[in-house]
Every structure is written in C-alpha cells, then in structure tokens.
Amino acid sequence: MRAVILQHEAHEDLGLFEPALAAEGFSFTRRFRGVEHHDLEAELVVSLGGSMSVSDTAAHPFLNEELAFFIERLALGRPCLGICLGAQVLAAAAGSEVTRGKNGFEVGVGPVRWTKQGLEDPVLAGLKPKSTVAHWHEDTFTPVEGATLLASTDRYTQQAFRLGDSFAFQFHLELSGDAFDGWLSEGRELLEAAGKDVAELKAQVGKLRAAEAENRAVIERLAHHFARVARR
C-alpha cells in the first residue's frame, strides 16, 4: 500500500503518523510542493501543514495543482488525510471557503473538544471528550458540506471533519512534545513579531508530552482505518 505525502515545509513531516502508517503496511512516496496526477491511484494521500494560505496561489502556484488534485480525488471517493494547511485544502476542495480567522492566531498547547458526532464516529468512538494537542494556525474554513464535524475549540469551531473515508485536522495531532518544542524555537522570531511569549508557549510543552500516548492511540486508529479502506 502506498501513501503519498504532500509536504509544504522542510520541517513539517508526518511525525507520529509515520510509524503508525508504516506498522499498517504503508510505504511512502514524498512530494515537496507538487503533485503527480498518477498519485490519484495511491491508497492514501496525506497533505501536511505549511506557512502559506490556500489562497496564496500567486506566490505558490503549486496550490492550484494540489487543490485540483484533491477535488478529483474526493470525487473519486479515495481516502485523504489533511493536517493544518492540508485540512484547509481538503475543505476548499469540498467547496468550503477558507479565510483568515477572525479570532486571531491560535498557537500553543491546548484542549480540543470532540463533538458528539466525533465521539460516535466508528474510528474515534471511545475517546475522552477532550484531547490535548498542538495548535498553530491563523486560517479557518466554513462548514464542509456533507462532512461530519469532529472537533472544536473555544476559538474556532472548525477543527476537524470527516468526509467519507477522509479525515482532516486543523490542529497538529502528529506533533510530539519534542517536535513542537523545536517548532517554537525555530519560529521564535515569527512568534515574537505576532506578540506571542515564546517562553510561555514552551512552558506548555510538558502537557503535550503527557498527552502523547493518548494522541498516538488516536493516530493508530486512523492508520488502521486507512489500511482497512485500502484493503477492502
């Protein structure tokens, strides 16, 4: 089984999803800021995060190609996984409007609430009502037609959705505490320019480390779901 990974930044990778997908039998084909049309046939396509917005097509023309790719893949009913920017691309491909969030930059470690529908989802059923995850985004999207809203935060309602066999997460479920700590160090200048206290954000990393086992368990469920869909 082949998983195509669409990467938009050098430092943003599969994280905790990689060992979970590998354990289910997936091999990986990696694309950096580009897609190949024959990847439509892959058993899974994952679109990762990035610093750009879905609408930044003049500076990043590959976004037009990626959006068209996911419109076609969703129409074919083939499973996708979107994380942060990838979730926004999937939302846009499904007809949703992606915009700059009116409630500002959501960054740090904090809770996400699973919706009633999320807690009843066959893949996610049995989770605790809240999970502790890493957040780093400024954009959001309107409700995705035909999708199930899976999770929300106090700041932004649209945090995760399921559309058929595809899943999208605005937050960074894939990040370990160590990885997020590295992101905060690398992004210090950007964060400080946005008025964020990096020391305060780093003080939250311990909560993410404490939640890692639970987040791995969620990821393993998702990996098993994608493998099951590929094999049926």
Residue 193's pLDDT is 96
Tokens of 170: 């605005």
pLDDT at 168: 98
Residue 32 has pLDDT above 90, yes or no: yes
Model pLDDT for residues 180-195, shown as the tens digit of each residue: 999 999 999 999 999 9
CA distance 73 to 42: 10
Residues 6+ apart with CB under 8 A from 11: 182, 183, 186
Beta bridge partners of 28: 3
At residue 196 the predicted structure's pLDDT band, cuts being 50, 70 and 90, is: very high
Return the pLDDT at 137: 97
The domains found in the chain, sorted by start residue, are 2-231 (3.40.50.880)
* Of 169, 177, 167, 139, residue with least CA distance to 152: 169
Return the pLDDT at 232: 87
pLDDT tens profile 203-223: 999 999 999 999 999 999 999
Per DSSP, helices labelled H in the chain are 17-23, 62-76, 85-93, 116-120, 177-186, 188-193, 198-202, 205-210, 212-231
Interval 99-154: pLDDT, tens:
999 999 999 999 999 999 999 999 999 999 999 999 999 999 999 999 999 999 99
CA atoms of 225 and 164, how far apart (whole Å): 12
Alpha carbon distance 49, 83 (integer Å): 6
SS3 113: strand
Q: Tens digit of pLDDT for each residue in 4-18?
A: 999 999 999 999 999
Dump pLDDT digits (tens) for 69-82: 999 999 999 999 99
Q: Which pLDDT score is estimated for 51?
A: 94
Q: Is residue 109 a contact partner of residue 195, using CB atoms and an 8 Å limit?
A: no
Task: Tell me how far apart the alpha carbons of residues 118 and 113 are, in angstroms, rounded to a whole number.
Answer: 9
39-60: average pLDDT: 96
